[in-house]
Amino acid sequence: MSRRALLELVAALAAAAIVLLVAALVPWLRFVLTIAIAKGIAVLGILLLLRAGQVSFGHALYVALAAYAAAFAAPRMPEALLLLPLGALVSGAVGLVVGLFVVRYREIFFGMLNLALSMVFYSVLEKFYALTHGTDGIRLPAIRYVGTALGPEEAGWATLAVAILLALGFGAFVRVYLLSPMGEALSAMKTRETRLEFMGIPARRVLLAAYVLSAVMAGCGGVIIAMTTRHVTPALAYWTASGELVFIAILGGAGSVFGPFLGAFGYELTRTYAAALVADAWQMILGIVLLGVILFAPGGLWGMGRSALRRRPAGEGAA
Amino acid sequence: MPGWIADNALLIGLAVLDGLSYAAAVFMVAVGLNLIFGVLRVLNIAHGSLYAIGGYSAAALGLFVVSRGLPGWLVFPTLLAASVLVGLVLGPPIERLLRRTEKEEPVLQLLVTFALFMILEDLQKLLFGVQPVVFDAPLKMLGTVDIPFGQDVIPFTAYQLFVLPGIALVTLAGLAWFLRRTLYGRMIVAVTTDREAARAMGIDAAKVTLLTFTAGAALAALGGALASPTASLVPGVGAQTIVLSFAVVATAGLGQIEGAAVTSLLIGLGRSFAVYFEPELEVVVPYLIMVAVLLVRPQGLFGVPETRRI
Amino acid sequence: MAGDVRFAPGSLTRRAALGALGVGSLALAGRSVQAQAAKPSELKVGIATYLSGPASVFGVPGRQAAEMLFDEINAEGGIAGVKVRPIFVDEGPGVDHFVGEYRRLVQSENVNIIFSAISSADCLACTPLADELKRPTLLWDCGTQRIFEDARYQYAVRTQGNATPEVLAALLYVLRAKPDFRSIAVVNQDYAWGRDSWAIWKTAMDTLKPGVRVAAEFFPRFGATDFSTEVTRLLALRPDVILTTSWGGDLDAFIRQSAERRLFERSTFVMPLAESSLERVGKTLPAGVIVGGRGDHWFGHPSPKDPALLARFTENYRKRFSTWPIYPTHHMAQAVFAMKAGYEKAIKAKGGGWPTDAELAAAFQGLEFPSLTGTIKIREDGQGLEDQLIGTTVHTDKYPFPVLTDMVVFKAADITTPVGQKSLDWLKTLSPDMPGKMPAPVPYRG
């Protein structure tokens, strides 16, 4: 393991410890932090696609798909360790089918096809009212963890722990993946896709692999959201929810696997605090924050932090 | 099938009339978005907010005109004036913001418009409140036209039957003329087709961008202004209107005015036929059309396949 | 503006705690143990309402009513000498955000009681939380009948009716006003309320008057602005009755487009929520339309229990916000009055001592409290019994908008699903002579 990887591992573990500490000190934030991590996991998948220069405006589809899968399965199978793989599987499978279609497209067509499919799913959730209760949504029963029924307090902790473990796992995986030939091929796609093809690498398959992975991660995020809020509604699939995921990716910075989580914490905390201070204009505050980040720190929160760290040695005369 | 058509001939006629007016409304919102996308290569999410603000401004100005007891026909120029005003006031500053991020990744520009959408959404609420706003003087002034339907007649509003499709046609023809026959128009087409080559030929891309964005913003506002006599303006109306235009832009092909017109027509007719014969499909029809078109023509209806750059 | 609430002196610590992200101050903000049974220095009330999105047409009047009534309570010295302070949260961002906000209200703001919510989804999501976090919660405006039919809760009660009596009252009214109608079309918003209300109507109609033909079922997109296609279709179909439970911008647009194209001349319209649109659409809405307001809410109620109370509320609200009160303001008033009555009952039961959360929650069970127009009783299952007023529009010179005549005030107990039964099952057991037994209509008196 390289020094840098070790450093990042330590940083990730420290971040996890801080999250747990804050959740212990401020009980009401535990919920917000769990949701933030769930969204961060979904955004990790967006990050993969961003590497290839593709922006999906419909990944809320996979979040919602897995959340609903969990909500439908939970009454018969209220076990977190089964619901998570189930959600990942459902999202991954649909991601594969949709992916086979959408990886033929680039840029706006890619983005808008994803948006269209998520909006179709949104309408389906409304139309099959008898099954889904439409906007009223479905409530999940209490979830067991490794067969143990927990009280609401313990269940909250368990979900947060599961979320952190998944975040660490997926974070490490994406980091390795991006450095692997498949990951390098994604970056190559962004610069000049044709060159990739000349080298005999099928660009569509590279993108498809990333797409399915991103669907799986969005699915895991969706199941965690469902287990945390214990109430799923079609709003999870609305196009603005997809926009939110892209928003978080850019807010955090697409340069590192830490970005999505930084972005998600930044987003959820800004929203929560803005809503608490000015219930009327939280959207405006969020917009101004995003605009500020884009204009003054296009590398996102991660880039901001890194350049702040770098500036110090530069001041000492190092190049 | 022919039997079905014969049985439903009268209904099909009505559905076509409804579809045309709906298509006109869709076109008015989508055409500006498509124009902007062609030149700036950014999907302007704030377009929906411009639509809403255009609608609110037109209603406010129109109500002012009516309350002053000015001649009734003035409400029509008022709709237009409000749109131009919104375009001029909001277009250039937004374009400036976009140009600041021109050199960054395209997704950043997209998010600039997303941020603006969030800001304008609340701004609109602060300016115009949350109660639904309608300005139906133009609708009432023009009255209705009875369309025969077997033994029966069906009243349509003249506004819906003539004004909306009429303005959409004039806009389409005007834009087509402008883009093909005028210098600035040709510059816009040149930049849409190949930005780098256009620059190399000495076209001032910045000027073209500003012009296009302002025109696009004014068109969005005009879309809202034209909707204000029939639609209720409420918080969130922009977000719901714009998502349909996204589908139009992707289906039409980049920056293609005619593409936007044909797509709007397909969506308008598709939707009204759905309402007549299979109402539950109404909401998904635009997306189904988009998927179907892109399956057959991956670059959109009127799009040209991009040259493969090596 | 609502801004002034936030700058009340007591909010300083909260703002400071919110503003700082240091762990120390966060820990301060996070104290979750409520000082039980000691009289607080102020009574904090968390209020969930829509401040953004299309439903803010209800949310903002609801908030305005709360601000006005809280001011009035404080001017009279508060509840048992304790001043009340509202803390508003926006339901706009959706359920997953709202659930977090609910926790914040309980665990960080440490509110004493919560009014929640307009969205049925938010109510469904927060009632179990009320029991989990043990914080008394009043469901102030949401409509779904599912909540107390599917489960029982200790800490949550509803201070208003639900979808079943609201829709059933309108149906009974139509059955009496237009007994020979043979066909019906429905134009409802495509979301839970639109679907639910049609299911309730259809089930009851098939029981009370079997054989009515459903000419068309339209569920246009929630937030739709153009109904011209639906209107054309309805003009061609000529159903006897057109039902729409839509509201807000959707309903306004549908009314205007139907009026302009003379659809009102071809069919009888039933609009169980149109009371909230009357002032906005004005006389565009013709006479002869059957209108309701989700309860017995109307400033011109024919027989209010305390006419002075209703008149004073209407006058004060108009003076302060220059608009007429609509049903969400009545629903908010009910929550406020229920809170006051609940505290007084709990304090009395404790011989003057301040109640714990559990004691306050218990006081709400079976509570009877005044509404602006009558009395509301909370049943043993937590459901409020609220009368329903349905009327027919008429134009007068006195108001620039239609008013109601031939008003029928349905008694809540007659039209609300009995305790322990599910609405759709109960509606199948209604007796066909039900419309004949309804109270006599009362004409409009200027």
On chain A, the residues whose CB falls within 8 A of the CB of B274 are: none
Gap from A129 CA to chain C (nearest CA, Å): 7
Which pLDDT belongs to residue C285?
A: 96
Chain B segment 141-170 residues within 8 A of C by beta carbon are 144, 149, 152, 154-157, 160
Which pLDDT belongs to residue B306?
A: 58
Lowest mean pLDDT among A282-286, C79-83, C315-319, C338-342: A282-286
Length of chain C: 446
Which residues, including other chains, have CB under 8 Å from residue C31's CB and lie 6 or more apart?
C110
3-state secondary structure of B133: strand
Which pLDDT belongs to residue C7?
A: 32
Query: B156 - beta bridge partners?
Result: B145
Residue boundaries of the structural domains of chain B: 2-296
Mean pLDDT along residues B255-280: 89
Cβ–Cβ contacts within 10 Å for residue C442, how many? 17
DSSP at C228: H
On chain B, the residues whose CB falls within 8 A of the CB of A119 are: 243, 284, 287
| A67 band by pLDDT with thresholds 50, 70 and 90 | very high
Mean pLDDT along residues C327-332: 96
Query: Using one digit for the tens of pLDDT, what is the confidence trace for A148-169?
Result: 888 888 899 999 999 999 999 9
Which pLDDT belongs to residue A108?
A: 79
Query: C394 - beta bridge partners?
Result: C403
**CATH node for B2-296:** 1.10.3470
Which pLDDT belongs to residue A190?
A: 80
Residue of A nearest to B236 (CA): A240
Mean pLDDT along residues A234-263: 89
Q: How far is CA A317 from the centre of its chain?
A: 39
Residue type, B138: P
Which pLDDT belongs to residue C19?
A: 43
Pairing of strands C213-218, C183-187: parallel
Axis-axis angle for helices A282-296, A300-315 (nearest 10): 40
Lowest mean pLDDT among C4-13, C71-80, C99-108, C147-156: C4-13
Of B14, B129, B232, the CB nearest to C252: B232
Lowest mean pLDDT among A181-190, B102-111, B121-130, B180-189: B102-111
Residue C2: asked if its preceding bond is cis (omega within 30°), the reply is no
Which pLDDT belongs to residue B1?
A: 65
Residue in the structure block whose two tokens are 């029966």: B152
% of chain C residues with pLDDT over 70: 92
Mutate to test the interface with C, among B234, B240, B271, B287 (most CBs of C within 10 A): B234
Mean pLDDT across chain B, nearest whole number? 87
Q: Is the pLDDT of residue B73 over 70?
A: yes
Mean pLDDT along residues A119-123: 88
Higher per-residue pLDDT: C22 or C144: C144
Chain B segment 211-240 residues within 8 A of A by beta carbon are 239
3-state secondary structure of C445: coil
Backbone angles phi, psi at C89, to 5 degrees: -125, 150
Which pLDDT belongs to residue B281?
A: 85
Which residues, including other chains, have CB under 8 Å from residue A14's CB and lie 6 or more apart?
none
Query: Using one digit for the tens of pLDDT, what is the confidence trace for B130-176?
Result: 888 888 888 888 889 999 888 889 999 999 999 999 999 999 999 99
Query: Using one digit for the tens of pLDDT, what is the confidence trace for C139-194?
Result: 999 999 999 998 999 999 999 999 999 999 999 999 999 999 999 999 999 888 99
Cβ–Cβ contacts within 10 Å for residue B304, how many? 11
Q: Which two tokens stand for residue B73?
A: 């026909």
Q: Is the pLDDT of residue B85 over 70?
A: yes
Query: Using one digit for the tens of pLDDT, what is the confidence trace for A280-293?
Result: 788 899 899 888 88
How far apart (Å, rounded) are the C-alpha atoms in residues C121 and A240? 18
Cβ–Cβ contacts within 10 Å for residue A170, how many? 23
- Equal fold, C31-161+307-382 vs C164-293+387-437: yes
On chain C, the residues whose CB falls within 8 A of the CB of B271 are: 229
Residue of C nearest to B154 (CA): C235
* Domain covering C31-161+307-382, topology: Rossmann fold (3.40.50)
Nearest to B27 by CA among B189, B309, B268, B310: B268
User: Contacts from B180-183 at CB under 8 Å and sequence distance 24+?
Assistant: none
Chain C segment 16-55 residues within 8 A of A by beta carbon are 18-19, 21, 23, 26-27, 29-30, 32, 51-52
User: With an 8 Å Cβ cutoff, are C260 and B25 in contact?
Assistant: no
Residue boundaries of the structural domains of chain A: 3-237
User: With an 8 Å Cβ cutoff, are C260 and B156 in contact?
Assistant: no
Mean pLDDT along residues C20-45: 58
Q: Which two tokens stand for residue C22?
A: 């240091």
Lowest mean pLDDT among A167-176, C37-46, C166-175: C37-46
| C20 band by pLDDT with thresholds 50, 70 and 90 | very low
Mean pLDDT along residues C20-49: 63
Mean pLDDT along residues B88-108: 86
Q: Which two tokens stand for residue C199?
A: 């299911």
Torsional class of B43: left (φ above 0), alpha (ψ -120 to 50), beta (otherwise)? beta
Backbone angles phi, psi at C36, to 5 degrees: -80, 140
B96 has a chain A CB within 8 A of its CB: no
Query: A79 - beta bridge partners?
Result: A144
Gap from A219 CA to chain B (nearest CA, Å): 23
| A221 band by pLDDT with thresholds 50, 70 and 90 | very high
User: Best-predicted range by mean pLDDT among A109-113, A245-249, C203-207?
Assistant: C203-207
How far apart, in Å, are the Cα atoms of C348 and each of A24, B297, C80, C360, C378?
38, 75, 10, 11, 18
User: With an 8 Å Cβ cutoff, are C53 and B235 in contact?
Assistant: yes
Maximum distance among all Cα pairs of chain B, rounded to whole angstroms: 66
C149 contacts C186 by C-beta, under 8 angstroms: no
How far apart (Å, rounded) are the C-alpha atoms in residues A46 and A53? 10
Q: Is the pLDDT of residue C238 over 90?
A: yes
How far apart (Å, rounded) are the C-alpha atoms in residues B128 and B82? 15
Which pLDDT belongs to residue C3?
A: 32
First to last CA, chain B: 50
Chain B segment 118-177 residues within 8 A of A by beta carbon are 118-119, 121-123, 125-126
Gap from B183 CA to chain C (nearest CA, Å): 38
Which pLDDT belongs to residue A311?
A: 62
Query: Using one digit for the tens of pLDDT, what is the confidence trace for C272-305?
Result: 999 999 999 999 999 999 999 999 999 999 999 9
Q: Which two tokens stand for residue C310?
A: 């209703």
How far apart, in Å, are the Cα atoms of C70 and each of A82, C60, C67?
49, 15, 5
Residue type, B23: A
On chain B, the residues whose CB falls within 8 A of the CB of A291 are: 97, 112, 115-116, 119
Q: Which two tokens stand for residue A32?
A: 């917000």
How far apart (Å, rounded) are the C-alpha atoms in residues A274 and A268? 10
How far apart (Å, rounded) are the C-alpha atoms in residues B138 and A122? 35
Considering the segment(s) C164-293+387-437 as one domain, its CATH architecture is 3-Layer(aba) Sandwich (3.40)
Torsional class of B125: left (φ above 0), alpha (ψ -120 to 50), beta (otherwise)? alpha
Lowest mean pLDDT among A258-267, C88-97, C309-318: C88-97
On chain A, the residues whose CB falls within 8 A of the CB of C96 are: 35, 225, 228-229, 231, 235-236
Strand residues in chain A grouped as ranges (E): 138-139, 144-145, 148-149, 231-232
Q: Which two tokens stand for residue A209?
A: 């692999």
- Please spell the DSSP secondary structure of C317-362, one letter per residue: HHHHHSS---HHHHHHHHHHHHHHHHHHHHHHHTTTPPPPHHHHHH
Look up the pTM and report it.
Answer: 0.89
C185 contacts C218 by C-beta, under 8 angstroms: yes
3-state secondary structure of C138: strand
Query: Using one digit for the tens of pLDDT, what is the confidence trace for C349-368?
Result: 999 999 999 999 999 999 99
Mean pLDDT along residues A228-244: 90
Q: Which two tokens stand for residue A121?
A: 């799913």
Which pLDDT belongs to residue C152?
A: 92
Which pLDDT belongs to residue C358?
A: 94
Return the partners of chain B (3 or more C-beta pairs < 8 Å). Answer: A, C
% of chain C residues with pLDDT over 90: 80
How far apart (Å, rounded) are the C-alpha atoms in residues A203 and A205? 5
Chain A segment 84-143 residues within 8 A of B by beta carbon are 101, 104-105, 107-109, 111-113, 115-117, 119-120, 123-124, 126-127
Residue boundaries of the structural domains of chain C: 31-161+307-382, 164-293+387-437
Q: Which two tokens stand for residue A309?
A: 């760290």
On chain A, the residues whose CB falls within 8 A of the CB of B107 are: 50, 55, 246, 250
A239 has a chain B CB within 8 A of its CB: yes
How far apart (Å, rounded) are the C-alpha atoms in residues C173 and C165? 12
Nearest to B48 by CA among B187, B239, B305: B239
Which residues, including other chains, have CB under 8 Å from residue C302's CB and lie 6 or more apart?
C407, C409, C442, C445
Which pLDDT belongs to residue C306?
A: 95
